[in-house]
Chain A
Amino acid sequence: MSPTKLDSNVPAGPIAEKWDRHRFEMKLVNPANKRKYTIIVVGTGLAGASAAASLGELGYNVLNFCIQDSPRRAHSIAAQGGINAAKNYQNDGDSVYRLFYDTVKGGDYRSREANVYRLAQLSVNIIDQCVAQGVPFARDYGGLLDNRSFGGAQVSRTFYARGQTGQQLLLGAYQSLMRQVHKGTVRLFARREMLDLVLVEGRARGIVCRNLVTGEIERYAAHAVILATGGYGTVYYLSTNAVNSNVTASWRAAKRGALFANPCFTQIHPTCIPVTGDHQSKLTLMSESLRNDGRVWVPKKKGDTRPPDQIPEDERDYYLERKYPSFGNLVPRDVASRNAKQMADEGRGVGETGLAVYLDFQDAIQRLGIDVIREKYGNLFHMYKKIADEDAYKVPMRIYPAIHYTMGGLWVDYNLMTNVPGLHVLGEANFSDHGANRLGASALMQGLADGYFVIPYTIGHYLAGSTMLKVTSEHDAFKESANCVQKNINRLLSVKGNRGIREIHRELGRIMWDNVGMSRTEQSLRTALAQIPKLRGEFWQSVSVPGTDDNLNQSLEYAGRVADYLEFAELLTLDALHRRESCGGHFREESQTADGEALRDDEHYSYVAAWEFTGVGREPVLHKEPLVFEEVHPTQRSYK
């Protein structure tokens, strides 16, 4: 492919009517024919489980895969704070248009308007669907659904189930999925890792997996493939993501020709428990919902080591409230994170390392009583106690930013299909709706919108409009792909070096965090671009992957994921280097306003950067999808 302008296939018409019109214009698969179509869904998180269940309900023959031993354990289960929806139950001025507007602005004008509008429209149906499944959302004393506020919004539109919203939403989707398993429309393949995408005549027609228990390389053919395999935050080693999170499925699809969009748009969450030592395998998020009641501060004086309760009120700097009076502690994540870093850089960070700020609940406890705080955030305070060994009811939490979410992902059009016909991508794995910064409580919304309400329509349109060869997993393309996969496994096992896989992953993480993290410069990015290939070389020279490939071998699984990260990290960095502007979570120090806010360059960078793989260590080809704003006029984002 030579560089082209990508077509997003956004339907014509006024923004509020696009999706309705499109639904009418899309082709349909006749009910009796649906079972003749096999659809592969990789992933059982909110996006994958909701898609597999809904497609099963429609009568398609669905094959659903996940890495964990049960679909209920997908990373989505860990989401804490909530899910947005423009229900306006609080009568506080919310509307579909406002959610749309907040999301486009929150994403720093780097998302596709039509997708975001559809997302805001569908948000309303998601809540209804989840309630009908028995999701026990929080309620008020009148028995109606309760809401709270999240960053980047001035209305209360976030629905929640204590601090376990992701768990409850995922269990709802999982239960619907198991109902389809019972009916026989969905077949489940747990403890499987997709290691390649199979193309026949240029269309996505199947996958190759490793059975993680027996080690067998398995081939599955289908009429369409859906990836809902989550984000790539663990490229930074330490992140809030579950430890099995990976880029492998997306990256292998990219190596087969799917374009990877905006990989440098990564989100750093402002409120995580700070790093304590080298042994750490992950970082733990303290939900953004805490910023509803917690106040962020640091001492006014540099190097003030007094315990927090001995720092008088007038010697504290509630810097978010001071700098952003209208949003206060509820500024979007990118803004809150950068400010925390700035405090630490100024020498005003707290705790042993100085890499932390306080999140203080004293005022809220006085105002609302300790029981209310316990009911709202009890499980988070409990988790904080476990990890940090401190009681946040008594002393302020110490928090610091950490990698949390990845806005980048495989490029998809309005129908959630990649440039590879038949390959669809949902949830965090696609690049779609959050631009350069995701607002809190919007990932759950997007995953479920994609799975419950978008893909059931758009996949029918694709299937009904395509004439396909009859293909089984005996086709040569499957054999070729299975061979490739096996070769890669053999190669990992045969290095037989003496370096630990984790050690190399940790080193990659350090390169990424130091150079491609919260703020990026031309120089830091070039440093990373020099270091990554070197580390990749060392990995293939000296990694030790013990054991064999004919049984459960977690070292082999891990090594495969780290190997992919060692390739993918280079693309992420390259993307960050090419985008010489700051926007959302992508902060280039060279591009900032006088008061240190991200400065966009709309004239040169108002596009989606979608990269085509051309070989490991080779320059990828950049394709651009220009972004057009007809509704929300891009301005300098302000939360003051």
Chain B
Amino acid sequence: MRLKLKIWRQAGPGTAGRLVDYAADHVSPDMSFLEMLDVVNEGLVKQGHDAIAFDSDCREGICGMCGLVVNGIPHGPDRGTTVCQLHMRRFRDGDTIVIEPWRARAFPVVKDLVVDRSALDRIITAGGYVSVNCGGAPDGNAIPIAKEVSETAMDSAACIGCGACVAACKNASAHLFMSAKISHLSLLPQGQIERYRRVVAMIEQADAEGFGSCSNEGECEAVCPKEIPISNIARMTREYFRALWVGGR
């Protein structure tokens, strides 16, 4: 296949960026989207040109490192799929593909398609954990947990922290990301003790980072590669109001 690419190039955080045209001439349908970019980069590198910077690591859809907006959609057109697992058989010979970075106030561009998502880490740092020190934990089977509860917690825990939900949201809200962690921990008995403190601390941190609020657009759910349901946000909101009620600080 031959493809026309329009790729966002930006030298650094302070500088202006623009879309630059590239041709990808030897694309096999079996390639992943990132492997297609590897080939473009290999060509640039051989000619001594700067490679297009983009993040990736596992290339299996689990580390959350990759993230590109493909033709306006974070992670591209396939539902429930990270861009590293998107394959070129999804495109047709002669297609033009526009490739841009995540765009959100809380995710400044580092270079080209690479953004700084450390704000998500700081939200977890604010309270996204169970406070147990190593050693002295009770036996793993001491507290039985109903299978359905544990499965629902796992559904939420599956979030890979990629930030696509933020990139898709017109408010650049991190609610889906946050609600996934809050749901995971508030569903399990181990997460109960800090339940209210956690939700308040994480939401306050998200505000401080410059993420927007949620107006129920549902775009986040549509692009989430792990298909985290938006019902998590409803759960988080309930938790939050209950926390305010009980003075959860």
Contacts and interface: CB of A to CB of B under 8 A. Distances in A.
Given A552-B111, A555-B51, A164 B117 contact: no
A419 B48 CA distance: 42
B248 to A, nearest CB: 17
B234 interface: no
A354 B55 CA distance: 34
Contacts of B138: 128, 132
Interface in B125-177: 125-135, 137-141, 143-147, 150-151, 153-154, 157-158, 160-161
Interface in B1-50: 11-12, 28, 30-32, 34-36, 38-39, 42, 44-50
Contacts of A242: 57-59, 63
Contacts of B31: 277, 279
Contacts of A182: 125-127
Contact of A554 (B32, B42, B51, B150): B51
B137 A132 contact: yes
A69 B147 contact: no
A473 interface: no
B131 A179 contact: yes
Interface in A66-85: 68-75, 77-78
A78 B45 contact: no
Given A73-B64, A144-B144, A132 B87 contact: no
Contacts of A139: 144-147, 150
Given A73-B65, A143-B145, A179-B131, A134 B188 contact: yes
B62 to A, nearest CB: 5
B3 to A, nearest CB: 14
A164 B63 contact: no
Nearest to A388: B30
A386 B125 contact: no
A386 B86 CA distance: 7
Q: Which of B46, B62, B87, B140 has the most CB of A within 10 A?
A: B140
Interface of B: 11-12, 28, 30-32, 34-36, 38-39, 42, 44-51, 53, 55-65, 80-81, 85, 87, 89, 110-111, 114, 116-118, 120-121, 124-135, 137-141, 143-147, 150-151, 153-154, 157-158, 160-161, 184-185, 188, 190-191
Given A136-B153, A279-B39, A75 B140 contact: no
Contacts of B81: 386
Interface stretch (A260-268, A431-439, A478-486, A495-503): A495-503
A54 B134 contact: yes
Given A89-B141, A175-B130, A544-B45, 13 more contacts: A70-B121, A72-B64, A77-B62, A78-B62, A125-B135, A140-B147, A179-B131, A190-B121, A284-B59, A386-B87, A499-B46, A554-B53, A555-B51
Interface residues of A, number: 86
A133 B42 contact: no
A545 B51 CA distance: 9
A24 interface: no
Contact of A77 (B63, B133, B134, B151): B63
Contact of A168 (B121, B124, B157): B157
A215 B158 CA distance: 34
B161 A72 contact: yes
Given A276-B30, A544-B48, A179 B129 contact: yes
Contact of A190 (B49, B118, B185): B118
Interface of A: 50, 53-54, 57, 68-75, 77-78, 87, 89, 125, 127-134, 136-145, 161-162, 164, 166-168, 171, 174-176, 178-179, 181-182, 188, 190, 213, 242-244, 276-277, 279-282, 284-285, 382-383, 386-387, 389, 452-453, 456, 496, 498-503, 544-547, 551-552, 554-555
Contacts of B87: 386-387, 389
Contacts of A77: 58, 62-64
Given A57-B134, A70-B117, A547-B50, A145 B141 contact: yes
A162 B154 CA distance: 8
A128 B50 contact: no
A279 B140 contact: no
Nearest to A55: B134
A213 B110 contact: yes
Nearest to B185: A134
A138 B140 CA distance: 12
B128 A175 contact: yes
A579 B121 CA distance: 46
29 contacts: A57-B133, A68-B65, A69-B116, A69-B118, A72-B161, A78-B63, A89-B141, A125-B135, A128-B140, A130-B140, A131-B143, A132-B132, A140-B147, A143-B144, A143-B147, A161-B154, A175-B124, A178-B121, A178-B128, A242-B58, A242-B63, A279-B35, A281-B38, A389-B30, A453-B135, A544-B45, A547-B51, A551-B111, A554-B53
A371 B147 CA distance: 15
Given A77-B63, A134-B185, A280 B111 contact: no
Contacts of B53: 552, 554
A500 B46 contact: yes
